[in-house]
Amino acid sequence: MSDDVTFRVFRGEPDESGKPNGKMVDYTVEMDEGMVVLDVIHRIQAEHAPDLSCRWNCKAGKCGSCSAEVNGKPRLMCMTRMDEIMHETPEGQPILVKPMQTFPLTKDLVTDLEWAYQINQTIPPLSGPDEMNWEFDQIEADRVQEFRSCIECMLCVNTCHVMREHQLFGQFAGPRFFVRLANLEMHPMDEEDRIAMIKDDFGIGYCNITRCCTEVCPAGINITDNAIIPLKERVVTEYYDPVAIIAKKLGIRK
Amino acid sequence: MDKTYMTHEFDVVIIGAGGAGLRAAIEATKSDISVAVICKSMLGKAHTVMAEGGAASALSNKDPRDSWMTHFRDTMKGGKYLGDWRMAEIHAKESPDRIRELEQWGAIFDRTPSGLTNQRNFGGHTYPRLAHIGDATGLEIIRTLQERGIHTGMEVFMEYTVRHLFKTEGRISGCFAYNRVDGSLHLFKSKAIVLATGGITRCWSVCSGSWEYSGEGHALAYWVGAELGDMEFVQFHPTGMIWPPSVRGILVTEGVRGEGGMLTNSEGERFMFDYVPEMYRDEFADTEEEAMDWVNSIVADETPTARRPPELLTRDVVAKAINSEREAGRASEHGGAYLNISWRPEDQVKKKLPGMYHQFMELAAVDITKEPMEVGPTAHYVMGGVKVHPETQESTIPGLYAAGEAATGLHGANRLGGNSLSDLITFGRRAGMYAAKSAIEIEEFAEISHEEIEKVVEETLAPLLRKGGENPAKVVEDLRELMQQKVGIIRQGQQLEEALEELEAFREREESASPGGTRVYNPGWHQALEIGAMIDVSKMCALAALAREESRGGHTRLDFPVPDYSHWGKINSVIVKGSDGEMKLSHTRYPPIPDRLKEFLDAEDLHEDEEESNV
């Protein structure tokens, strides 16, 4: 397999108001066996456009840097094989590569992820006992380890309609950070309570469990069922469950 | 072009945000000082994220026979006795607490049946020693340190590249960086700097490293006059992916062999039984039956009584064995060896090695629960780096510290798998602590030469002013190919001499490389700026390799194929920039190993009777 392939790549920067200002540019390069989308982008840089902007690091699906929208679908460029892409693209059509659309554009395929770092800062960290040598079972670890496999690629946030269509960045933590919150809330040694924040500051109520985030997660985390719904249940129990509220008043429940 | 720059002042500046850099920052912020972390990628994306197998420390959770003494002994032996014994001692003693502390900060390592941190077997470690989470331990460590670090008050400058270190009256006084996103220029005045910049393996065309591994940290230290040591020692990890071509070099964790993975050649033979070095003969199985006994104990979660399979020999040995099998015409279909874990039940493979399962499934369309992987050597780690004081991690330049892969000492001629992640947290902490201590003692930020600043500004902007030159990507590609061909896993004097000459020729190409485009997020410009560092670190490696006329650990000479115990086995190379600007090579030795530590080592390995009188 050494066919030519044409990529139609977004090139541009934001205008003064911050809106993307650019155009789709066609590049044709030769393709080798086993290539992934990121390989083709690198070949375009090496042969046609050294200044084409794109983030990447590990090239093995472990760092979550090369998120983009390929043929309209959010994915990691390093883990998307070209034979899969060729298969889904109608014959003779170029392959469309765009940056994540939910985040502000920096340039070409690079977006500004400052929001993610800011919100992460506001989450109260793990708080457990001072003594070292913590003991807990693998079965307790399993539940949390699923969340620990998040590579912060932000594809889930990019896909979530609360973010993508409604841009509720200040009011909603987004799937990635519900995963982190679930990680902390379900940690076997954690003593902190973040339920009020999850309800008020992180706006978990905005999520109407359409599962779009779970579908695009390259780490295969069951975001909706294992992170978001259990957190929603905890909020409901704490604030809206009449039995639990009475039990609390009577001192039967914490 | 706009030459203005912004000036920042921080008591301590840490360059690099991998395991060592973040651990240093966490420690430095414990003092009441200002701390900046400058990193080339976004926070949480550094190269540490790619580490897979685990972090080695003698927690003795899995095998009560383990102790810091055995870990010390294994590290020295694996490094072929060229390591700094004091660093190996500190590392063996302190790493268990560093691991436990990570758990308090949020890391969730796999558990033993009694609920403690589980530990996995790895090459060269006598006992199961690696704390791990599946095969994604690097991600766990970087995420843990990131989540701890952001609440310490450190200020992070993401996607900045440091171009130059400044000295004022002999002491480090700051650094110069540019912002990769908007192309702006930045001067950082500081009282101490920690280099936690990782390695150099991007200088080889088949490597497990990302673009970040262009060796800029090593070059920065060299340019400012610090001594670098052991630069000839480069670890070629035995198991990188080899097929399809686009994934060549991507790491396949040693954990596969730790979990019972077997290496075979095209004739179906488990060839590693033929490659057990004399010094390890007593510790490894002679027969497939004995090796299987050991594996069965591991699978059953029992303490093994049989000796280990030879697949778990040190990385240098396994890499060279795969290479020799290929030379002998017994390579796998695409020129490597077969690595098979599919004999274990599917659910166990997926639980223990989830990353490997996905990596092969998605990138190579190979189901490792059903068929063997194809693997071959890949440039993975440089044992050489900035020479540091074993306790404080201070380099030969006052105020400049180094930790992790950027520093040398702990690993000698060959690093044991798992000793890198534990190195990062052990010596990252020390570097941060001592950098903070020294910064506190200094009252004022030192003046920095304007002339020197102007020169860096010129050099940084130069590639953007060029027109019609080569694409920087082409220059880098050719340099990496040169290193792969002539300074690779098996070296020869003639080729090393050629490499040294050819590397010089790259300087002209560096000066004419033109990326085009603007200052905004321009990868071509970034790459053009990396070439100078790549040339210098490549040269350090070739120069030190040419001098060392023996084979040992991560340095193998076809023309000097055996270790030399009387001379080379006792001395380490040192590279420094001479006053004439030329690269100078000399050799030195660590202080003698004290008797209190010598008693833990294998006496016959030390070859003390073969001492040269005039070294």
Query: Domain residues of chain B, as ranges?
Result: 5-233+383-440, 237-379, 463-567
What pLDDT sits at residue A250? Answer: 86
Chains A & B: contacts with CB separation below 8 Å: 178
Q: How far is A35 from chain B (nearest CA, A)?
A: 5
Q: Is B351 within 8 Å of chain A by CB?
A: no
Q: Identify the pLDDT of residue A1.
A: 46
Q: Which of B150, B521, B526 to mutate to test the interface with A (most CBs of A within 10 A)?
A: B521
Identify each DSSP E strand in A64-174 by its residue range. Answer: 67-70, 73-76, 95-98, 105-107, 110-111
Task: For residues B307 and B284, give the distance between their C-alpha atoms in angstroms, rounded to a whole number.
Answer: 5
B491 catalytically annotated = no
Instruction: Give chain A positions within 8 Å (CB) of B103.
Output: 132, 134
Q: What pLDDT, on a 0 to 100 scale, did the predictor assign at position B495?
A: 98
Task: Indicate if A167 and A182 belong to the same structural domain.
Answer: yes
Q: In chain A, how long is the greatest CA-to-CA distance?
A: 73
- The reported pLDDT for the residue numbered B610 is 82
Whether A50 sits inside 8 A of B515 (CB atoms) is yes
Nearest to B424 by CA among B160, B259, B178, B195: B195
> What pLDDT was estimated at residue A177?
98
**Residue A103 and residue A122 in one domain:** no
Interface check for A55 against chain B (CB to CB < 8 A): the answer is yes
Structure tokens at B391: 């306790």
What is the end-to-end Cα distance of chain B in Å, rounded? 54
Closest CA of chain A from B25, distance in Å: 16
Is A137's CB within 8 Å of B358's CB? no
**Residue A128 to residue B522, Cβ atoms within 8 A:** no
In whole angstroms, give the CA distance from residue B113 to residue B479: 50
Cβ-based contacts of A13 with chain B (< 8 Å):
520
The predicted structure's pLDDT at residue B613: 54
**Chain mean pLDDT for chain A:** 95
How many Cβ atoms sit within 10 Å of the Cβ of residue A127?
A: 14
Do the domains B463-567 and B5-233+383-440 match in fold? no
Q: Among partner residues B44, B148, B517, which is closest to A51 by beta-carbon distance?
A: B517
**Is residue A254 in some structural domain?**
no
Distance CA A184, CA A195 (A): 11
Pairwise CB contact (< 8 Å): A125 & B148: yes
**A148, A31: one domain:** no
CATH code of the domain covering residue A84: 3.10.20.30
Q: Does B469 touch chain A (CB under 8 A)?
A: no
Q: Chain B residue with minimal CA distance to A142?
A: B110
B245 and chain A: CB distance < 8 Å anywhere?
A: yes
Distances in Å between the alpha carbon of B556 and those of B240, B320, B412, B498, B594?
A: 19, 9, 14, 17, 29
Q: Do A120 and B104 touch (CB under 8 A)?
A: no
A133 touching B (Cβ < 8 Å) = yes
Contact flag A33-B244 (C-beta cutoff 8 Å): yes
Beta strand spans in B390-488 (E)? 400-402
Of A47, A63, A138, the CB nearest to B110: A138
In A, which residues are within 8 Å of B364 by CB distance?
Answer: 34
Residues A48 and A145 in one domain: no
Of A77, A111, A145, the one marking the end of a domain is: A111
Whether B42 sits inside 8 A of A113 (CB atoms) is yes
Which of A:189-218 have CB within 8 Å of B?
Answer: none
Q: What interhelical angle do B523-547 and B493-512 show, nearest 10?
A: 160
Using a CB–CB cutoff of 8 Å, tell me whether A76 touches chain B.
no
Q: How many residues does chain B have?
A: 615
Residue of B nearest to A14 (CA): B520
For the record, the structure tokens of A207 come out as 């999520």
**B40, B108, B242, B477, best to mutate vs chain A, most A CBs in 10 Å:** B108
Question: Of B140, B181, B473, which has the smallest distance from its Cβ to A50's Cβ?
Answer: B473
> How far off is chain B from A145, nearest CA to CA, in Å?
7
| List of residues 6+ apart from A58 with CB closer than 8 A | A65, A78, B47, B49, B50, B210
Q: What is the predicted pLDDT for the residue at B609?
A: 85
Same domain, A236 and A120: yes
Question: In the predicted model, is pLDDT for residue A254 greater than 80?
Answer: no
Residue A43 in any domain: the answer is yes
| Partner-chain contact A58 B210, CB within 8 Å | yes
Choosing from B8, B73, B163, B237, the catalytic residue is B237
**A79 in reach of chain B (CB within 8 A):** yes
What's the CATH number for B463-567?
A: 1.20.58.100
- pLDDT reported for residue B65: 96
B327-382 tens-digit pLDDT: 999 999 999 999 999 999 999 999 999 999 999 999 999 999 999 999 999 999 99
Is A209 inside a domain boundary? yes
Same domain, A96 and A144: no
- Residue at a domain's end among A111, A130, A154: A111
Q: How many domains does chain A have?
A: 2
Do B138 and A62 count as a contact with CB atoms less than 8 A apart? yes
Contact residues on chain B for A27, CB-CB shorter than 8 A: none
pLDDT, residue B262, reads: 97
Q: List CB contacts (< 8 A) between A114 and chain B.
A: none
Contacts of A52 in chain B (CB under 8 A): 523
Put simply, the chain B residues between 544 and 573 with a CB less than 8 A from any chain A CB are: none
Last residue of a domain, one of A111, A134, A166: A111
Beta-carbon separation of B477 and A46 below 8 A = yes
Torsion-angle region of B236 (φ positive above 0: left; ψ -120 to 50: alpha; else: beta): beta
- Please say if the pLDDT value at position A133 is more than 90: no
Which CATH number do you get for residue A144? 1.10.1060.10
* Among B residues 486-525, those touching chain A with beta carbons less than 8 Å apart: 515-518, 520-525
- Report the length, in residues, of chain A: 254
Judge: A35–B244 Cβ closer than 8 Å, yes or no. yes
CA distance B264 to B372: 9
pLDDT tens profile B56-74:
999 999 999 999 999 999 9
User: Could you tell me how far CA B74 lies from the centroid of its own chain?
Assistant: 18
Q: Are residues A106 and A133 in the same domain?
A: no
* Positions of chain B with pLDDT lower than 70, given as ranges: 612-615
CB contact under 8 A, B473 and A144: no
| Domain housing A229 | 114-249
For residue A2, the model assigns a pLDDT of: 57
Examine the domain organization and report whether A161 and A107 are in the same domain. Answer: no
> Which top CATH class is B237-379?
alpha beta
Contact A50 B140 (CB under 8 A): no
Q: Does A166 touch chain B (CB under 8 A)?
A: no
Q: Do B108 and A187 touch (CB under 8 A)?
A: yes
Superfamily of segment(s) B5-233+383-440: FAD/NAD(P)-binding domain (3.50.50.60)
Rg of chain B over all Cα atoms, to the nearest angstrom: 23
Predicted ipTM of the assembly: 0.96
Q: Which residue does chain B place closest to A119, by CA atoms? A: B150
Interface of B with A in 65-124 (CB under 8 A): 97, 100-101, 103-106, 108-111, 113-116, 118
**Element housing B274 (H / E):** none
Q: Which of B257, B308, B526, B555 is catalytic?
A: B257
pLDDT, position B253: 93
Catalytic (active site) residue B507:
no
Q: Are residues A137 and A105 in the same domain?
A: no
A51 touches chain B (CB under 8 A): yes
Taking only residues 28 to 47 of chain A, the set having a beta carbon closer than 8 angstroms to any beta carbon of chain B reads 32-36, 39, 42, 45-47
Cβ–Cβ < 8 Å for A99, A242: no
pLDDT at A77 over 80: yes
Enumerate residues 145 to 164 of chain A having a beta carbon within 8 A of any beta carbon in chain B.
Answer: 145, 148-152
- pLDDT in the model for residue A232: 98
Q: Are residues A139 and A221 in the same domain?
A: yes
Task: Report yes or no: B360 at the A interface, CB cutoff 8 Å.
Answer: no
DSSP of A176-226: HHHHHHHHHHT-TT-----HHHHHHTS-GGG-----HHHHH-TT---IIII
CA-based nearest distance A184→chain B, Å: 8
Within this chain, do residues A126 and A226 fall inside the same structural domain, yes or no?
yes
Residue A74 and residue A198 in one domain: no
